Structure 1
Amino acid sequence: MEIHVVKRGESLWRIAQMYNADVNQISLVNQLENPNVLVGGQALVIPELDQEYVVQSGESLWQVANRIGITVEDLVQVNGITDPNLIYVGEMLKLPFFPHNVQPGEYLWSIAQRYGVTINQILQVNNIESPSLIYPGQTLRIPTEAKPIIEVNAYTTQMNESGRQEVLALGRNFTYLSPFMYSYREDGSLTEMQDVQVIEASRANNVLPLLVLTNYSNQTFDSDLGAALLRNTTAQETLITNILSIMREKGYSGLNIDFEYLYPEDRENYNAFLRRVVARLRPEGYSVSTALAPKERADQQGLLYEAHDYSAHGEIVDFVVLMTYEWGWAGGEPWAIAPINKIRDVLDYAVTAIPTNKILMGIPLYGRDWRIPWVQGTIAQTVSPVQAVNRAADYGVDIQYHETYQAPYYRYMDENQQEHEVWFEDARSMQAKYDLIKEYGLRGGSYWVLGNRFPQNWAVLQDNFTIRKL
């Protein structure tokens, strides 16, 4: 897979020629609504013909395998597919091997060294008994290089049929699915959620559903609701019992606790609550994880940060989700949603307090459109990456790329002469985030939030990693 940045005036046909790629495959994997309309500065994913294949309309996995000349089992194994019937138009499949034409003077050891595989791997894939039994002009199958294995969580707020279909379509990219969310009342009872559809969809893709518990009330995270629980051990025991009941009934595999804007004086109470939860849930085989505010130092001030004790969470729970997004928040000034330099600042501190194999780095799947000049009290519109590119096309503006933030952005003037500034994510910005996961040796990533069309991301993810299934 390659990432191409469109120059003004370039056509898809010309771009495909540059990479010896297939126009239809490029259009499908990027889900281009009008392949004849490209935007200057737009990032495109370019599938490599010999190493990747994008599913076309009406194709089954058997048809794809037959077209390529491999087995369905090979495709299932290399792509982590649970159900061979769950493949979708535009989905990019990795191929288990690619061709190499033997040149005069080439030996098997030099070919193996060139592609980073072993001689035995090449012999086995090609059913060759001896390394000496190759000859010029022969086409060898070279095994695809193994990708780093990570875990991936995805939050979803859609509990309807649309949400179910999205989980079915994207589920092979996830280790965990976190339907958002359950809250609680002061007496320890839980709110309700119609989450059965998405839980069933997650199970179809061998994705473990996590029950998300929050201190959310009256359309906001409630500090007082947090205090009421964390200062009352009786209510805590009642709540944990109720959580276990729901998890058993609906088939959840773990608990993800997202308590935000807690009072600083509840820091130790929160740590004690986590220990109590783990003591009850872990013996029954359930995982416990938390979502943490993006702190850059242990003593960072502010209601969002002070009660989140990185070191304690790193010790107590199975893993954490760092909420490394929302710098460009809806009620604030225009900015990248997840500037890479700010994410790095958070990780630099986090890895000193939490084992790297317990950290999932938060990753946004959305962008925002602000009216400018920005006015305090105005709210930006949330847009999907697909909407952001289409909007640039509609208003005839080029997309820029901020090198420090590693994020695309642009400005445009609407029909009412109101100027706007848009920040979003694309294939380049996601590659930068995946590079951070590798650099810091993290457990993986966590998406906020499904429901925003971003087809490029899944191809970039698959090009970088193999997703662990548990």
Structure 2
Amino acid sequence: MIQDKFKRWIAGAAAVSCFMGAISAGAAASSNKLPFNDIAGSFAKDAIVRLYNKEILSGTTESTFSPKKSVTRAEFVIILDRVLGIEPVHSAINPFKDVSEKAWYYDAVTAAVQVGLADGTGAHTFEPAKAVTRQEAAVLLVRALNQTGINGSTSAYVDEEEIASWADSAVGAVRTLGLMSGDENDQFRPSDGMSRQEMAAVIDRVLQNVKWAAALNKQSNATRIQMGWQYGQTTAQFEQSVFQAKVTTLSPRWFFFDPNGVVADNADQSLVTWASKNKRQIWAMVGNRSNQEVTHQNLSNVTYRGKVVSQLTSYVQKYGLKGLNIDFENLAPADRASMTAFITELSTQLHKIGAVVSVCVSPDLGSDWTDGFDYQALGAVADYIVMMAYDEHWSTSPKAGSVSSMPYVNNAVTTLLKVVSAKKVILALPYYNRDWTIAKDGSVIASELTLVEQDSLVRKRALRPTWDAAVQQYTVSYQLNTLKHQIWVEDGRSLAAKYKTVMDHNLAGLAYWYMGGASPDIYTSLSNAERFYGLSFD
């Protein structure tokens, strides 16, 4: 329940913030049984008490609430995080020079920024200690409740012209929604700091709305597939990563094409046992080692293709697998029809034993690399198509750039959805990146990094990332041996944006290349994305 999240927030932050000050039972018993001795005359007294009892608000000391004191930007974000059930995230990627990684509010601000709830006052400033203005609060409330489509006029306010253009629609919306209004002089006071009692009244109004309260208390029943590939990890390491990430479907690299219709078997029975015990499915990966000649031989020769299908079916039965994940690289355009025939025959056999077939594809850019895949035909016979929305700029690319920008991802998904049903599409996200060395002549060399290695480099060099709204990623650069290095960062914010694409199109699920590449904070970021983007207040 959301209530449990509030308790964890209180436990973690109370010791380090006067705003999140400790609350004692003794203090609660004083001042006519009110939790604070300075709220009896506050217009928001009842709201403060209700929110205190729900453990959403606390005092500035054990016995005082300071109702007329202004709420800071950081404090208001924390309250919204609590209300929405957004968990704190401790990321290595910090764009703000005025938000220390050691600050008590760092994790809350990071979490809110990652899902698009909050943003900075500048490229590298958040101004956490600044009072949140009433117009800023209006914008944050509209975002939190996903009420961007609500119309509302600000013409009733005599200070209408003082409302910033970026806040005008939000100020009108919160008036229409009954959350915020003007004072007795018909002034909205957009630039005034919001007081703690005003904040309490507004948050209480949100929770008094039966429909909104029900939405906030509703537990996610998402059944989206969460698939993780094994690469560069031992079985024990893979199991640990899967468990931490709450991945439901495992794809170990077990089966590979060999010549003459032979499929090499590298299965690990211990992983099968572990997956069964921990209620995970295994869709073992079938690869071709990027060997175009052997792939052509096994797909185009009817006899060899039959042998491959028979062996794979027997492996699925032998190990009790729930499915297979077909990942062929360097497939020749001439093998397009043979590839479709192979997936058709394999699906027919696996469906007879209750197993599924998923096929990995790259974005259709009209190149030889993807000409071997008939997306529409494959989507008709396979259970799932896994869109590997990365390697936009590959390891030997002549130009430095993002591994997976949002325009690239969106184009890949929307193009695929023209011929394959959304309920069959799984979006694969990258847990790796590239550090680009840019020579003085403009040539580039790429070094692959896991996201763990990327974060370590950012911390070691104290790099300050800058958000690029066009690609929906941070970028960082540094000098080493007189050469410029540049990284298009993958972090909780960029991955949350990609996750939103999955939810916007109601895709079947997500896949991650590869387990172990991301630090645990990424898992929280993606969980927050599922939570925040899944809230519906309509």
Query: Quick check: TM above 0.5?
Result: yes
Whole-angstrom CA distance in 2 between matches of 1:211 and 1:352: 28
Whole-angstrom CA distance in 2 between matches of 1:20 and 1:204: 38
Is contact 1:182–1:212 with CA below 8 Å preserved after alignment?
yes
Whole-angstrom CA distance in 1 between matches of 2:93 and 2:473: 23
Cα offset for 1:27?
11
Q: Secondary structure of 2:255's partner?
A: coil
Q: Is 1:425 aligned with 2:490?
A: yes
Cα offset for 1:398?
1.1
Whole-angstrom CA distance in 2 between matches of 1:178 and 1:431: 22
Q: Deviations over 1:260-285 (max 9, x none)?
A: 22221211111111111112111011
Is contact 1:370–1:421 with CA below 8 Å preserved after alignment?
yes
Q: Pairwise mapping of residues 38-437 of structure 1 onto structure 2 (< 5 A)? A: 44-45=110-111, 111-117=209-215, 143-144=217-218, 146=220, 148-157=222-231, 158-170=233-245, 172=246, 174-193=247-266, 195-216=268-289, 221-296=290-365, 300=366, 302-332=367-397, 333-373=399-439, 379-414=445-480, 416-437=481-502
Whole-angstrom CA distance in 2 between matches of 1:108 and 1:194: 53
Opposite residue 429 of structure 2, the aligned amino acid is I
Opposite residue 211 of structure 1, the aligned amino acid is A
Cα offset for 1:44?
2.7
Structure 1 residues 46 and 402, CA gap change in structure 2 (3 angstroms): closer
Whole-angstrom CA distance in 1 between matches of 2:465 and 2:415: 33
Q: Is 1:440 aligned with 2:502?
A: no
**How many residues are matched?**
364
Q: Equivalent residue for 1:65?
A: none
Is contact 2:384–2:426 with CA below 8 Å preserved after alignment?
yes
Q: Secondary structure of 2:256's partner?
A: coil
Structure 1 residues 19 and 108, CA gap change in structure 2 (3 angstroms): closer
Q: Deviations over 1:357-381 (max 9, x none)?
A: 0000121112211111388996522
Q: Please, what TM-score do these two structures have when normalized by structure 2?
A: 0.60
Q: Equivalent residue for 2:42?
A: none
Q: Secondary structure of 2:276's partner?
A: helix
Is contact 2:326–2:358 with CA below 8 Å preserved after alignment?
yes
> Please, what is the CA RMSD of the aligned residues?
3.7
Whole-angstrom CA distance in 2 between matches of 1:451 and 1:258: 19
Cα offset for 1:436?
0.9
Structure 2 gaps, min length 5:
6-15, 18-71, 114-199, 532-538
Going by fraction, where is strand more abundant, 1 or 2? 1
Is contact 2:425–2:509 with CA below 8 Å preserved after alignment?
yes
Is contact 1:116–1:145 with CA below 8 Å preserved after alignment?
no
Is contact 1:150–1:465 with CA below 8 Å preserved after alignment?
no
Structure 1 residues 143 and 18, CA gap change in structure 2 (3 angstroms): closer
Is contact 2:405–2:473 with CA below 8 Å preserved after alignment?
yes
Q: Secondary structure of 1:306's partner?
A: coil
Q: Secondary structure of 1:465's partner?
A: helix
Identical counterparts, % of pairs: 21
Q: Deviations over 1:233-262 (max 9, x none)?
A: 111222222212322232321011112222
Is contact 1:159–1:197 with CA below 8 Å preserved after alignment?
no
Larger Rg, first or second structure (1 or 2): 2
Opposite residue 357 of structure 1, the aligned amino acid is K
Is contact 2:87–2:528 with CA below 8 Å preserved after alignment?
no
Q: Please, what TM-score do these two structures have when normalized by structure 1?
A: 0.68
Cα offset for 1:199?
3.5
Whole-angstrom CA distance in 2 between matches of 1:162 and 1:269: 37
Whole-angstrom CA distance in 2 between matches of 1:334 and 1:453: 22
Structure 1 residues 236 and 321, CA gap change in structure 2 (3 angstroms): same
Structure 1 residues 200 and 400, CA gap change in structure 2 (3 angstroms): farther
Going by fraction, where is helix more abundant, 1 or 2? 2
Cα offset for 1:18?
5.9
Structure 1 residues 379 and 199, CA gap change in structure 2 (3 angstroms): farther
Structure 1 gaps, min length 5:
2-11, 48-101, 118-141
Q: Equivalent residue for 1:128?
A: none
Structure 1 residues 437 and 294, CA gap change in structure 2 (3 angstroms): same
Is contact 1:360–1:442 with CA below 8 Å preserved after alignment?
yes
Cα offset for 1:222?
1.5
Is contact 2:88–2:111 with CA below 8 Å preserved after alignment?
no
Cα offset for 1:109?
10
Is contact 1:411–1:419 with CA below 8 Å preserved after alignment?
yes
Is contact 1:159–1:195 with CA below 8 Å preserved after alignment?
no
Whole-angstrom CA distance in 2 between matches of 1:448 and 1:108: 40
Whole-angstrom CA distance in 2 between matches of 1:343 and 1:384: 20
Q: Equivalent residue for 2:56?
A: none
**Larger RCO: 1 or 2 (CA < 8 Å, sep 6+):** 1
Whole-angstrom CA distance in 2 between matches of 1:338 and 1:279: 34
Whole-angstrom CA distance in 1 between matches of 2:342 and 2:274: 31
Opposite residue 368 of structure 1, the aligned amino acid is R
